[in-house]
Amino acid sequence: SASNSLAHADITTLLHPYTDARAHEAKGPIVIDRGKGIYVYDDSGKEYIEGLAGLWSVAVGFDEPRLVEAAARQMAKLPYYHTFSSKSHEPSIRLAEKLVEMTPENLTRVFFTSSGSEANDTVVKMVWYMNNALGRPRKKTFLARTKAYHGITVASGSLTGLPNNHRDFDLPAIPVRHLTCPHFYRFGLPGESEAAFTARLVAEAEQVILEEGPETIAAFIGEPLMAAGGVLPPPEGYWQGIEALCRKYDILLVADEVINGFGRLGSSFGCVHYGFTPDILVASKQITSSYMPLAAIVFSEAIYNAIADNTARIGTFGHGFTASGHPVATAVGLENLAIIEEKDLVGNAARVGAVLQRELARFADHPLVGEVRGAGLIAALELVSDKATKAPFAPIGKVGAAAYAAGHANGLIVRAIGDTVALCPPLVITESQVLELVARLGRTLDDVAAQLPD
Ligand code: PLP
């Protein structure tokens, strides 16, 4: 059949990201054929709720005709042009304007790339260029956190704080210090309060700054709510503490909003949700609902001026991509942000997100569930073998993989991060669809529990 020949062609030609290749050859791909709203369908017609919005990224659902039309209109008019050497085009200008309008007031300038990884590599190079321009070439080190995800290219992969992204690739390749992950449930000490945990992490950051020398620390980068590392909301007061340190030691604060941005937490941006002001904001994924590859770096006038005022002396900012500000991607981005506004999807994420968090909180009583956490329309259940001691299952990841597979059997696509089950449905999800998602998740957990030895 056509489907068998597709599967055969897949296993004989493709190397899939993050996939055990030999296991994949034996099992074959799940070929996703079409989408509708929060649902996707495989080529056998099986329906799944896309509980992760693809890769945390499809805000408007999987069949938005307005994005198709926006892409077609731009394709017909000007399918490609670049933005090097003063060349420009309307969609990239209009989207830049829109991003400056939507993001915090101090962010006034925009640089486009095609992916979050490229955007974070660009941030590294922009900050390094700026500090060279300002005559402080030693100020180059980044502060990041363990379990952070900032991408997989050589620089952004260095900022990422997950062992499997470093170990086999000789990373980090840039100067970076990874601080303790701000996840109270896992990294709080026995008897420590959440406030004391926050204070300890902020003190640790200051100690590292002083140890390295503030004149060598360029920037602190963080996801307001860490997503790919396990959906980890920060403890109370954390961002205020980090922001104060950045101001004290003249360190740029970078909010990686690649997943948080455009309403995911029920606020416009994660930095707005947690009440801090970054110097640089990185956006991608939901910027186009991932219908087209696009990322944006939105940054302050002070950074822009440091670059602009010194170019004549040190040379132009020699950085950019063939597809920087791609007209079709930026046209789709503009239309996507218009839909998010018109349908008040940020408000929907707050309202329907509250229903999701309330329903998931009921799983706290489930024998497998150690912690339920999240904000707005992003959430996770961490599965443990002993709720009292928080002891993980051994080996880590086996129960998570079982939950992932059981989810598929129950028509629900989730992400398993070790033994944490992550959810991040499209922002268009309705209250009744949340209840259906939660019902499928409940059946999934019961199926996993039934597979475990007593
Ligand atoms: N930053 C964050 C917070 C992410 O979650 C991701 C991807 O998941 C990236 C950066 C990298 O984006 P990309 O996969 O488009 O390179």
Considering the domain architecture, whether residues 208 and 142 belong to the same structural domain is answered as yes
The mean per-residue pLDDT over the stretch 292-321 comes to 95
Q: Which of 113, 117, 291 to mutate to test the pocket of ligand 1 (most atoms within 8 A of CB)?
A: 117
Distance 2 CA to ligand 1 centre (A): 34
How is the chain split among helix, strand and coil, in percent rounded to 5? 45, 15, 40
Q: Which of 150, 159, 297, 417 to mutate to test the pocket of ligand 1 (most atoms within 8 A of CB)?
A: 150
pLDDT at 21 > cutoff 90: yes
Considering the domain architecture, whether residues 366 and 247 belong to the same structural domain is answered as no
The answer to whether the CB of 259 is under 6 A from ligand 1 is yes
CATH number at residue 369: 3.90.1150.10
Q: Which of 121, 156, 258 to mutate to test the pocket of ligand 1 (most atoms within 8 A of CB)?
A: 258
Q: Are 390 and 384 in contact (CB under 8 A)?
A: yes
The answer to whether the CB of 260 is under 6 A from ligand 1 is no
Torsions phi, psi of 280, nearest 5? -140, 135
Distances (CA, A) of 164 to 167, 171, 200, 251, 350: 5, 10, 27, 28, 34
Considering the domain architecture, whether residues 356 and 288 belong to the same structural domain is answered as no
Considering the domain architecture, whether residues 187 and 263 belong to the same structural domain is answered as yes
Considering the domain architecture, whether residues 227 and 363 belong to the same structural domain is answered as no
The answer to whether the CB of 144 is under 6 A from ligand 1 is no
Count Cα neighbours of 158 within 13 Å in the Cβ-side half-sphere.
Answer: 18
pLDDT at 312 > cutoff 90: no
At 389, the pLDDT band (50, 70, 90 cuts) reads very high
Distance 150 CA to ligand 1 centre (A): 5
Considering the domain architecture, whether residues 53 and 164 belong to the same structural domain is answered as no
pLDDT at 90 > cutoff 70: yes
At 10, the pLDDT band (50, 70, 90 cuts) reads very high
pLDDT of residue 4: 82
pLDDT at 1 > cutoff 70: no
Distance 160 CA to ligand 1 centre (A): 10
* Structural domain includes residue 14: no
* Structural domain includes residue 22: no
* Structural domain includes residue 362: yes
Distance 285 CA to ligand 1 centre (A): 8
Task: Give tens-digit pLDDT for 180-222.
Answer: 999 999 999 999 999 999 999 999 999 999 999 999 999 999 9
Q: Whose CA is nearest to atom 10 of ligand 1?
A: 150
Considering the domain architecture, whether residues 185 and 310 belong to the same structural domain is answered as yes
Distance 178 CA to ligand 1 centre (A): 18
The answer to whether the CB of 284 is under 6 A from ligand 1 is yes
Q: Are 277 and 252 in contact (CB under 8 A)?
A: no
The mean per-residue pLDDT over the stretch 30-55 comes to 98
The answer to whether the CB of 153 is under 6 A from ligand 1 is no
Q: What is the largest CA-CA distance in the chain?
A: 71
Is the pTM above the cut of 0.80? Answer: yes
Question: ipTM of this predicted complex?
Answer: 0.99
DSSP letter string over 234-276? PPTTHHHHHHHHHHHTT-EEEEE-TTTTTTTTSSSSHHHHHT-
* Structural domain includes residue 19: no
The answer to whether the CB of 227 is under 6 A from ligand 1 is yes
* Structural domain includes residue 24: no
3-state SS assignment for residue 288: coil
Q: Whose CA is nearest to atom 7 of ligand 1?
A: 151
The torsion region of residue 376 among left (phi > 0), alpha (psi -120 to 50) and beta comes to: left
* Structural domain includes residue 391: yes
Task: Give tens-digit pLDDT for 348-365.
Answer: 999 999 999 999 999 999
Domain boundary pick from 276, 309, 342: 342
Please state the atom number of ligand 1 nearest to the C-alpha of residue 116: 12
Domain boundary pick from 287, 311, 342: 342
CATH number at residue 301: 3.40.640.10
Task: Give tens-digit pLDDT for 131-146.
Answer: 999 999 999 999 999 9
Both tokens of 375, joined, read 């904000």
Considering the domain architecture, whether residues 94 and 239 belong to the same structural domain is answered as yes
The answer to whether the CB of 224 is under 6 A from ligand 1 is no
Q: Are 131 and 139 in contact (CB under 8 A)?
A: yes
Distance 81 CA to ligand 1 centre (A): 25
Domain boundary pick from 309, 342, 375: 342
Give the residue numbers spanning the domain of 192.
Answer: 67-342
Please state the atom number of ligand 1 nearest to the C-alpha of residue 153: 16
Distance 137 CA to ligand 1 centre (A): 28
Considering the domain architecture, whether residues 402 and 303 belong to the same structural domain is answered as no
Distance 366 CA to ligand 1 centre (A): 32
Q: Are 142 and 124 in contact (CB under 8 A)?
A: yes
Domain count, the chain: 2
pLDDT at 111 > cutoff 70: yes
Considering the domain architecture, whether residues 291 and 361 belong to the same structural domain is answered as no
Contacting residues for 85 by C-beta, under 8 A, at least 6 apart: none
* Structural domain includes residue 15: no
pLDDT at 236 > cutoff 90: yes
The answer to whether the CB of 149 is under 6 A from ligand 1 is yes
* Structural domain includes residue 205: yes
pLDDT at 2 > cutoff 70: no
At 43, the pLDDT band (50, 70, 90 cuts) reads very high
Considering the domain architecture, whether residues 390 and 261 belong to the same structural domain is answered as no
End-to-end CA distance of the chain: 42
Considering the domain architecture, whether residues 305 and 408 belong to the same structural domain is answered as no
Distance 253 CA to ligand 1 centre (A): 18
Distance 383 CA to ligand 1 centre (A): 25
